């Protein structure tokens, strides 16, 4: 490749992971229909291997009374678009872990959304301070297409690891694949290492399919 070619190319934004391009505007992307929000029956549950062995659930009002955080983060979809510098506010996953502790054998969580969509995460990634159950984006309440009333945001992973319309968190003592992880996407979903597809997985990256 010649010098001139290099000079004419726009310098890549260092916040863009390999193979990603910038997106203007915010596309809507999901599998299946948009759920209708039912305020009276909506809850957010924690189940599985809790330390107390009990399930926990928050009503819509209770969830909205929890302590809140704001996180600035980039957003990377595996279909190669990225949006930089989003402001998400909501409840830190860390806060939910403190309120409903997992038992000491928990290694992973499954985050469940309406209609059975799910995504698995290592407990450490879930517990990271940047992982947030977001109700707002750039100061505005989420629209229903973008996950109202609450979606998960996991800045260190491709965006499919962030279910929209979250309804439950399952504490797990072993890893298990979520919706896309069962359908050909990489268990780890690290955008910086381009861990996009399950055929790239090394032994130990995830449970067998
Ligand atoms: N419930 C649910 N959440 C989902 C998805 C989905 O299909 N269902 N798709 C994921 C994918 S692949 C992406 S890129 C983002 C897109 O979020 P957006 O529509 O707000 O841009 O949502 C994620 N969360
Ligand atoms: Mo995506």
For 72-100, b/e burial (b = at least 16 CB within 10 A) is ebbbbbbeebbbeebebbbbbbbbbbeeb
Confidence of residue 9 (pLDDT cuts 50, 70, 90): low
Residue 185 lies in a domain: no
Residue 167 lies in a domain: yes
Structural domain for 145, as ranges: 49-174
Q: Pick from 24, 76, 152, 160 the residue to mutate for probing ligand 1's pocket: most ligand atoms within 8 Å of its CB.
A: 160
Q: Is the CB of 159 under 6 A from ligand 1?
A: yes
Residue 148, domain CATH: 3.90.420.10
Question: CB 127: neighbour CB atoms within 10 A?
Answer: 17
Q: Is the pLDDT of residue 1 over 60?
A: no
Q: Is the CB of 117 under 6 A from ligand 1?
A: yes
Q: Could you give the CA distance from residue 160 to residue 76 in angstroms, rounded to a whole number?
A: 9
Confidence of residue 5 (pLDDT cuts 50, 70, 90): very low
Q: Which ligand has the shortest distance to the CA of 147?
A: 1
Q: Is the pLDDT of residue 142 over 50?
A: yes
Tokens of 200: 């790239």
Domain count, the chain: 1
pLDDT tens-digit profile of 15-50?
999 999 999 999 999 999 999 999 999 999 999 999
Residue 76 lies in a domain: yes
**What pLDDT is attached to residue 167?**
98
pLDDT tens-digit profile of 69-87?
999 999 999 999 999 999 9
What phi and psi values does residue 124 have, to the nearest 5 degrees? -65, -40
pLDDT tens-digit profile of 144-182?
999 999 999 999 999 999 999 999 999 999 999 999 999
Q: Is the pLDDT of residue 4 over 90?
A: no
| Ligand 1 center from residue 182 Cα (angstroms) | 16
What phi and psi values does residue 32 have, to the nearest 5 degrees? 90, -175
Tokens of 12: 């890549």
Q: Is the CB of 127 under 6 A from ligand 1?
A: no
Residue 3: which H helix or E strand, with range? Answer: helix 3-8
Q: Could you give the CA distance from residue 135 to residue 68 in angstroms, rounded to a whole number?
A: 10
Residue of 22, 12, 33, 35 whose CA lies nearest to 75: 22
Confidence of residue 185 (pLDDT cuts 50, 70, 90): very high
pLDDT tens-digit profile of 87-106?
999 999 999 999 999 999 99
Distances (CA, A) of 142 to 28, 99, 133, 150, 164: 12, 24, 11, 8, 10
Q: Is the CB of 58 under 6 A from ligand 1?
A: no
Strands 166-172 and 43-48, bridge-based pairing: parallel
Residue 89: which H helix or E strand, with range? Answer: strand 81-92
Under 8 Å between Cβ of 46 and 171: yes
Q: Which ligand has the shortest distance to the CA of 154?
A: 1
């Amino acid at each position: 490749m010649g010098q001139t070619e290099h000079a004419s190319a726009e310098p890549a934004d260092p916040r863009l992971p390999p193979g990603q391009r910038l997106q203007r505007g915010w596309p809507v992307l999901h599998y299946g229909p948009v759920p209708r929000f039912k305020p009276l029956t909506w809850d957010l549950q924690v189940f599985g291997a809790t330390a107390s062995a009990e399930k926990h659930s928050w009503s819509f009002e209770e969830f909205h009374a929890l302590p809140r955080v704001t996180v600035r983060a980039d957003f990377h979809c595996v279909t190669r678009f990225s949006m930089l510098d989003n402001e998400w506010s909501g409840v830190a996953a860390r806060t939910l872990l403190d309120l409903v502790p997992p038992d000491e054998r928990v290694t992973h969580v499954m985050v469940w959304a309406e209609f059975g969509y799910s995504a698995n995460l290592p407990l450490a990634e879930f517990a990271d301070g940047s992982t947030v159950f977001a109700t707002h984006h750039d100061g505005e309440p989420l629209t229903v297409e973008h996950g109202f009333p609450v979606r998960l945001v996991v800045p260190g992973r491709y965006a499919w690891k962030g279910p929209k319309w979250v309804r439950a968190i399952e504490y797990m003592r072993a890893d298990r694949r979520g919706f896309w992880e069962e359908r050909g996407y990489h268990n780890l979903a690290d955008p910086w290492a381009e861990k996009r597809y399950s055929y790239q997985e090394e032994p130990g990256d995830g449970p067998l399919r």
